[in-house]
Amino acid sequence: MPTIESRTAGDRLTRIARGEVVSTTIHPELAHEEAVLDVQGFNLWYGETQAIFDVSMSIPQGKVTALIGPSGCGKSTLLRSVNRMNDLIETVSISGDMKLGPDSIYGKSVDVIELRRRMGMVFQKSNPFPMSIRENVVYALKINGERNRAVLDEVCEKALRGAALWDEVKDRLDESGLSMSGGQQQRLCIARAIAAEPEVLLMDEPCSALDPIATSRVEELILRLRGDYTVLMVTHNMQQASRVSDFTAFMYLGQVVEYGPTARLFTNPLLKETEDYITGRFG
Amino acid sequence: MVSRKNGQKSNGSYSPQAASLLARGEPMVWLTGFGLVMGLLMVIALVGYLFYEGSVTFWPSPVVQIVTLDGSVVMGEITRSEDFEPQPETVAALGEEEISAAQAELSRREGKLRRSLVRTGNFELTGEHFRWVEDFRFGSQGIQKPKWALIFERTAWGRFYGVPVGFLIDGEIQTTGPEESWKLFNEHSGQDIPPSRYAIRLHTASGETKDLDLAEIVRAYPANQLGLGRKIGIYLDRWREFLTAEPREANSEGGVFPAIFGTVVMTLGMTLLVVPFGVMSALYLREYARQGWLTSMVRISINNLAGVPSIVFGVFGLGFFSYIVGGSIDAIFFVDKLPNPTFGTGGIIWASLTLALLTLPVVIVATEEALAAVPTSMREGSFACGATKWQTIARVVLPRALPGVMTGAILAMARGAGEVAPLMLVGAVKLAPDLPLDQHFPFFHPERSFMHLGFHIYDLGFQSQNSEAAKPMVFTTTMVLMGIILLLNTAAIWLRSRMARRYSGSKF
């Protein structure tokens, strides 16, 4: 168990920069949470370059967890490893495992398609498909073989309401998803991601391409989703992390330095390095 | 000088001499603008010339009668006039009166003579369709326009020029005057005239008399009595005939409908064949194949394929499609007709396939570019929803790339519709009145040879026996071909813009 003394125990960031693997400082509060996603000793390489070093963390059920850290620290890579989007890159190799509930994510006999259906993902840049708003939302269900119009309509409405978009688009569900504004498009992507009732919702800097008003709407939305969905989000905006997340993990050069309740981490972190980063003295 | 310069600078106003032309980039603007203007000018000149020549072809011109110095009479339509320099011995071989007239013109016009090409018709009597008449041969009367000179367009032997001198029913003469004969002619002409029942007796310029059977006459009019309304009527009627009728007189008269039909069916068939193949190839290359030196080689080969002369594709089409594939079909299904080939010779299906092969690179390259332009984020979004590779391609990538694919199809269509050389080997023929689509079972006859406007232009311009008569048809046929390509392209572009609107926000 890390104690307050560790705040003074050498400069972890310098050690990480030298290539040493530093153990993650995890706050005791996390032990009380029920984990839905469990990362176990996960390493990832792009070709010869290692991008993630021995990350172990569990993501609590029904909570919003934020990954923060300077650019290039591996936040997005870690997030994309959860639903194995990195499989699309040929040079990627990994070791270690993750578990979604009781099931292994990187096990030999895992059906990646099936696995991805259990998770939703929202990307940095909104990416609605070239089809109508309705088709966009029910895409995941349709490719899964759902044909019943009544079911699809119900899911569509529920997801759009969940994404706080229903009132704006209910009269033009058959218009192109690309005809909406940027903020609406991003909420449409969130609706698409939650339509299939995912166990984990992955968000990769969901507000970085949005203006402040659209950002605040998406943040409100994330706050509303808390409880119903487990959200794992990457953000480089620390104010955002403090506003919307329950737990925050500070990453640096592919390692998780400190992981704990957001309120603790931002006001009274265990490590001096985290405090330096959060207060802007470094990074 | 110096002080003036300084004065200019000191007043602070902008001086154009201050920056060099190059620095302001203006030479480049002029150069690029010059390139565009030159290209446009050439296109406008070509299209304008075609349009002018094509649109005057069917305008009815008057019939002239010229009594030459040696007393012979020439009657017909003047098609064009030109200056020429005669050989001295040709002039010397003329009669006395003509020599002096020619010499007078030669000295007046600095060694040049003017001559006109007169369409004299009456081929069965004179053995010629056209005759050059030099201006110096004109007698004292010059060019006359006889009131009752009639023009007859016939189903055979070309045009006939003459003055009516009688009308016959069942060989019995009814009347003798020109006006009465013309009146009776108009009463009895029309639809479904029984052969050798009615005839009009004509007096020709050469002094002969000829009876024309009404059943063989397509159109007749008193060229020198026409008002503007009648002229427009004849002009439009000739266009109608041109667009809807079958050709006559070795294609130099009549219409081009079978060629229009053949061109459209062949081009649409080609497009339907090439687009699926091209899209499938591009999909494999871009989406499935591992990108490496082998795919690069394949890509370079496909691009090079676009540079292979089209006649080579024609030879391949003839050898492979017609002889090997078609021959095998014949050997299996049409044994009873052998040795006469059914599929084993040129046919519209083989022409479509050959042109599909020819335009395949265009479609593959355009489709590949369209696929590459689909953002990775869209594919990732689809994968993240749990879609398989094929679901992602079919539902997200292809719809997004569709406008680009359509662009490829449009380019392929324009290329294929204008292609002639390979068609000469794989099924385009001079005359094929049997259309590839008709009301006889099985309605579509892919093995039939067909007429094609491009080949028709070549045939009219370079293969015709009566080239002077066929020449104006070259322009009208070219106009029709360009019109059809324009129409097909417009339709495709309209379709593309509709699709693009459906996925608004997609750019191409």
The string of pLDDT tens digits covering residues B4-33 is 444 444 455 555 556 666 666 678 888 899
Residue B340 located in a structural domain: yes
Q: Residues A208-221: what's their mean pLDDT?
A: 84
Residues B134 and B187 in one domain: no
Average pLDDT across chain A, whole number: 86
Which range among A190-194, B98-102, B392-396 shows the weakest confidence by mean pLDDT? B98-102
Residues B334 and B480 in one domain: yes
Residue B51 located in a structural domain: no
Which residues in chain A have their CB less than 8 angstroms from residue B379's CB?
88
Residues B407 and B457 in one domain: yes
Residues B288 and B347 in one domain: yes
How close is the nearest chain B Cα to the Cα of A140, in Å? 5
Closest partner residue to B375 among A127, A179, A202, by Cβ? Answer: A127
Residue B508 located in a structural domain: no
Residue A122, φ and ψ in degrees, nearest 5: -120, 130
Residues B496 and B460 in one domain: yes
pLDDT greater than 80 at residue A117: yes
Dist CA B442 CA B342 (whole Å): 14
Q: Residues A264-270: what's their mean pLDDT?
A: 88
Q: Helix %, strand %, coil % for chain A, to 5?
A: 40, 25, 35
Dist CA B424 CA B452 (whole Å): 9
Residues B320 and B423 in one domain: yes
Q: pLDDT confidence of A7, banded at 50, 70, 90? A: very low
At residue B38, the pLDDT reads 96
Which residues in chain A have their CB less than 8 angstroms from residue B385's CB?
116-117, 120, 139-140, 143, 192-193, 196
Element (H, E) at A126: none
Dist CA B300 CA B293 (whole Å): 10
Number of domains in chain B: 3
Query: Are A94 and A47 in contact, with CB atoms under 8 Å apart?
Result: no
Give residues with Cβ within 8 angstroms of A30, minimum separation 6.
A58, A60, A247, A259, A260, A261
| CA–CA–CA angle A169, A170, A171 (5° rounding) | 90
Query: The domain that contains B490 carries what CATH number?
Result: 1.10.3720.10
Residue B397 located in a structural domain: yes
**Domain boundary at B112, B144, B176, which?**
B144
pLDDT greater than 50 at residue A9: no
In whole angstroms, how far apart are CA A41 and each of A80, A167, A263, B16, B297?
16, 44, 26, 70, 43
Residue/partner pairs of B235-244 with CB below 8 Å, 24 or more apart: B235/B58, B235/B59, B235/B60, B238/B58, B239/B58, B242/B58, B242/B476, B242/B480, B243/B480
Could you tell me which chain B residue has the CA closest to the CA of A181? B505
**Domain boundary at B80, B109, B144, which?**
B144
How close is the nearest chain A Cα to the Cα of B398, in Å? 10
Residue B24 located in a structural domain: no
Residue B41 located in a structural domain: no
Dist CA B198 CA B211 (whole Å): 9
Dist CA A247 CA A260 (whole Å): 6
Residues B476 and B365 in one domain: yes
Q: Does B377 touch chain A (CB under 8 A)?
A: yes
User: Secondary structure of A32-85 in the HEC alphabet?
Assistant: HCCEEEEEEEEEEEECCEEEEEEEEEEEECCCEEEEECCCCCCHHHHHHHHCCH
Could you tell me which chain A residue has the CA closest to the CA of B501? A176
User: Which of B 64-123 lie inside 8 A of A, CB atoms?
Assistant: none
**Beta-carbon separation of B502 and A144 below 8 A:** no
How close is the nearest chain A Cα to the Cα of B289, in Å? 13
The string of pLDDT tens digits covering residues B394-422 is 999 998 898 889 889 988 988 888 888 99
Residues B346 and B439 in one domain: yes
Total beta-carbon pairs less than 8 A apart between chain A and chain B: 84
At residue B155, the pLDDT reads 84
pLDDT greater than 80 at residue A2: no
Residues B306 and B327 in one domain: yes
Q: Residues A243-266: what's their mean pLDDT?
A: 90
Q: pLDDT confidence of B446, banded at 50, 70, 90? A: confident
Distance of CA B268 to the CA centre of its chain: 18
Output the six-digit token pair for B204.
């020709």
User: Which of B 396-455 lie inside 8 A of A, CB atoms?
Assistant: 396, 399-400
Q: pLDDT confidence of A6, banded at 50, 70, 90? A: very low
pLDDT greater than 50 at residue A259: yes
Closest partner residue to B502 among A119, A128, A176, by Cβ? Answer: A176
At residue B274, the pLDDT reads 94
Task: Give the CA dihedral B345, B351, B352, B356, nearest 10 degrees.
Answer: 120
Query: Are A119 and A100 in contact, with CB atoms under 8 Å apart?
Result: yes
The string of pLDDT tens digits covering residues B29-78 is 888 999 999 999 999 999 999 999 999 888 898 999 888 888 788 899 98
Which residues in chain B have their CB less than 8 angstroms from residue A159's CB?
none
In whole angstroms, how far apart are CA B248 and each of B237, B240, B252, B369, B431?
16, 15, 7, 48, 10
Closest partner residue to B386 among A113, A127, A129, by Cβ? Answer: A113
Q: pLDDT confidence of B361, banded at 50, 70, 90? A: very high
Residue B89 located in a structural domain: yes
How close is the nearest chain B Cα to the Cα of A263, in Å? 31
The string of pLDDT tens digits covering residues B157-175 is 888 999 888 888 888 888 8
Closest partner residue to A127 among B381, B391, B504, by Cβ? Answer: B381
Strand-strand pairing, B150-154 and B138-144: unpaired
Assign B372 to helix, strand or coil.
helix
**Beta-carbon separation of A119 and B384 below 8 A:** yes
The string of pLDDT tens digits covering residues B248-294 is 877 777 888 888 988 998 999 999 999 999 999 999 999 888 888 99
**Beta-carbon separation of B386 and A127 below 8 A:** no
Residues B81 and B121 in one domain: yes
At residue A1, the pLDDT reads 45
pLDDT greater than 50 at residue B508: no
Which residues in chain A have their CB less than 8 angstroms from residue B504's CB?
176, 178-179
At residue B21, the pLDDT reads 62
Q: pLDDT confidence of B363, banded at 50, 70, 90? A: very high
Q: Residues A176-199: what's their mean pLDDT?
A: 87
* Domain enclosing residue B393, as ranges: 257-503
Listed residue (A272, A233, A263) closest to A67, CA to CA: A233
Higher pLDDT, B235 or A18: B235
Residues B353 and B279 in one domain: yes
Which residues in chain B have their CB less than 8 angstroms from residue A125's CB?
377
β-pair partners for B172: B169
Residue A6 burial by Cβ neighbours in a 10 Å radius (0-12, 13-18, 19+) = middle
Choosing among A143, A146, A185, which should be mutated to test the B contact, i.e. which has the most B CBs within 10 A? A143
Distance of CA B280 to the CA centre of its chain: 34
Dist CA B502 CA B399 (whole Å): 10
Residues B105 and B165 in one domain: no
Residue B472 located in a structural domain: yes
**Domain boundary at B144, B167, B186, which?**
B144
Q: Does B503 touch chain A (CB under 8 A)?
A: yes
Choosing among A139, A172, A175, A179, which should be mutated to test the B contact, i.e. which has the most B CBs within 10 A? A139
Dihedral over Cα of B36, B38, B41, B46: its sign: negative
